[in-house]
């Protein structure tokens, strides 16, 4: 079945990028998602030669399956400066791609139905003030001016409003930036799994792919849900797990709010096609596998906090990164797990589609129950403190890891991509990245979970 024009990219999407493997480059980027593509673009703009290897399709996994939010609101404070830069970079990238990303600075609104929730939201205003971010708390009347629920519709007590936040269309945006990167000299190859990376005397020497070897002094691993599996093959451990989240797309409807919003039960975003992307909150599924057991105690604080929100499943589908039968060891000359599952295309949780549809209809009764055109799911690469790892790997000179975006990677992608490029080039990143250090789970420092949404 072919992929709809306004739906995530899948293995059936035609290959767009098939550049020949070079003999040598300065940097190989493993993974053609938003982080990998952005890193490659900014690496090239710093004057480095770079090649991206993608086992399936550019943006085929979570980078085309996310909500499409470009969000400063509610960010972990350590992420916020990177995100603020990313917001400006998205604006420029949209111009560079001829407006093909779907970028719209339409704002993000966190809605509240209770005084307790409003008080909790107000705490983040101090973060916004410290960073001179345009965020304001609205009362019920202020919310009603922004969100037109109509007669008999939902009336929220108030909300937290960030008018400079934005949205984009993930399945269009990341491939558009990839085409921009290639036009500037970045090589990209889909259907090209990185099997192993080569080291010599503790230094990166290159990458063995299914189509041959590429010599490189530096490698950026931005493999999303697959990163932990690749690193473990080389004796490197990170406590990354993957969770499934489902999203539905409605048919075109009247415009009652042009931005992105979420309350206690529902998230929704206006789309370029006139419909909405909707998702029931608290709808994550954690599929249990070897890594889930291995990192149980590291994840325990988050598991306790979200126990009532996350459904635990006893196993992953065959060939998934943490499936019980997935190989953990392979050689450079044999088929790897990455070739056995080109694109993670999980079955959506259809039982959660109807609650999302009903919640949307209850909030906007004048619109009627939305027609659901399609439903999809994505596998989110998550870390136990809900912030990513973006760092060089100690003891492996030339190896940079950028993963565990915890569902927040699409919006912040250009910011981290630029920071990764500067890290690889030996230049100042312009940001304090210590919160995202590789060693934080083993250096004895306390784990401080960031905001989940």
Q: Which CATH architecture best describes the domain 27-107+164-441?
A: 3-Layer(bba) Sandwich (3.50)
pLDDT of residue 453: 65
pLDDT of residue 2: 41
pLDDT of residue 305: 62
- The mean per-residue pLDDT over the stretch 336-359 comes to 93
Dihedral sign for Cα 251, 257, 261, 266, please.
negative
pLDDT of residue 316: 86
Residue in 196, 199, 198, 208 with CA at minimum distance from that of residue 233: 196
What percentage of the chain has pLDDT greater than the value 90? 84
Residue 415 has pLDDT above 90, yes or no: yes
Residue in 56, 48, 54, 58 with CA at minimum distance from that of residue 21: 54
Helices (H) and strands (E) in the chain, counts: 12, 21
Give the distance from CA 103 to its chain's centroid: 16
Sequence ranges of the domains in the chain = 27-107+164-441, 108-163
Residue 45 has pLDDT above 80, yes or no: yes
As a whole number, the mean pLDDT across the chain is 93
Q: 1 pLDDT band (50/70/90 cuts)?
A: very low
pLDDT of residue 328: 94
Q: Residues 284-311: pLDDT tens digits?
A: 788 888 888 888 777 766 655 654 467 7
Three-class secondary structure of residue 397 per DSSP: strand
Q: Are 370 and 361 within 8 A, CB to CB?
A: yes
Q: 7 pLDDT band (50/70/90 cuts)?
A: confident
Q: Residues 273-285: pLDDT tens digits?
A: 999 999 998 767 8
Q: 352 pLDDT band (50/70/90 cuts)?
A: confident
CA pair distance 178, 16, nearest whole angstrom: 10
CA pair distance 41, 182, nearest whole angstrom: 8
| Residue 305 to residues 128, 389, 393, 441, 451, Cα–Cα distance (Å) | 25, 21, 30, 19, 12
CA pair distance 158, 109, nearest whole angstrom: 10
Alpha helices for 14-169 (secondary structure H): 34-45, 80-96, 115-123, 125-130, 140-146
Structure tokens at 280: 């029931």
Q: 26 pLDDT band (50/70/90 cuts)?
A: very high
Residue 268 has pLDDT above 90, yes or no: yes
Structure tokens at 432: 């304090």
């Amino acid at each position: 079945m072919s992929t709809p024009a306004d739906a995530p990219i899948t293995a059936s999407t035609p290959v767009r990028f098939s550049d020949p493997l070079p003999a040598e480059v300065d940097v190989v980027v493993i993974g053609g998602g938003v982080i990998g593509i952005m890193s490659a673009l900014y690496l090239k703009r710093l004057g480095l030669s770079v090649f991206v290897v993608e086992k399936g399709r550019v943006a085929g996994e979570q980078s085309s399956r996310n909500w499409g939010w470009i969000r400063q609101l509610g960010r972990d404070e350590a992420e916020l400066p990177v995100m603020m830069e990313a917001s400006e970079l998205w604006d420029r990238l949209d111009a560079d791609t001829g407006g093909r990303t779907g970028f719209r600075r339409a704002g993000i609104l966190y809605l509240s139905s209770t005084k307790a929730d409003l008080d909790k939201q107000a705490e983040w205003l101090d973060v916004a003030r410290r960073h001179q971010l345009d965020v304001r708390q609205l009362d019920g009347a202020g919310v009603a001016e922004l969100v037109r629920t109509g007669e008999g519709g939902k009336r929220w007590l108030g909300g937290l409003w960030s008018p400079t936040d934005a949205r984009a269309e993930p399945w269009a945006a990341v491939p558009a930036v990839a085409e921009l990167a290639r036009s500037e000299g970045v090589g990209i190859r889909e259907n090209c799994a990185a099997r192993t990376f080569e080291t010599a005397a503790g230094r990166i020497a290159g990458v063995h792919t299914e189509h041959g070897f590429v010599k490189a002094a530096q490698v950026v691993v931005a493999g999303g849900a697959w990163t932990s599996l690749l690193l473990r093959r080389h004796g490197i451990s990170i406590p990354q797990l993957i969770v499934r989240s489902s999203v539905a797309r409605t048919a075109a409807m009247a415009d009652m709010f042009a931005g992105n919003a979420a309350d206690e039960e529902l998230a929704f975003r206006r789309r370029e096609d006139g419909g909405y992307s909707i998702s029931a909150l608290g709808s994550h599924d954690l599929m249990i596998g070897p890594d889930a057991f291995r990192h149980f105690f590291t994840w325990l604080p988050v598991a306790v906090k979200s126990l009532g929100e996350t459904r635990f499943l006893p196993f992953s589908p065959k060939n998934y990164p943490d499936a019980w039968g997935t190989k953990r060891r392979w050689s450079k000359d044999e088929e790897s797990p990455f070739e056995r599952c080109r694109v993670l295309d999980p079955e959506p949780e259809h039982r959660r589609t109807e609650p999302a549809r009903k919640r949307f209809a209850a909030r906007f009764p004048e619109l009627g129950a939305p027609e659901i055109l399609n439903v999809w799911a994505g596998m989110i690469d998550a870390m136990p403190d809900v912030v990513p790892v973006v760092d060089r790997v100690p003891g492996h000179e030339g190896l940079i890891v950028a993963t565990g975006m915890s569902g927040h990677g699409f919006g912040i992608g250009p910011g981290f991509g630029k920071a990764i490029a500067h890290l690889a080039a030996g230049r100042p990143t312009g940001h304090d990245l210590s919160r995202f250090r590789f060693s934080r789970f083993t250096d004895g420092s306390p784990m401080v979970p960031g905001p989940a949404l």
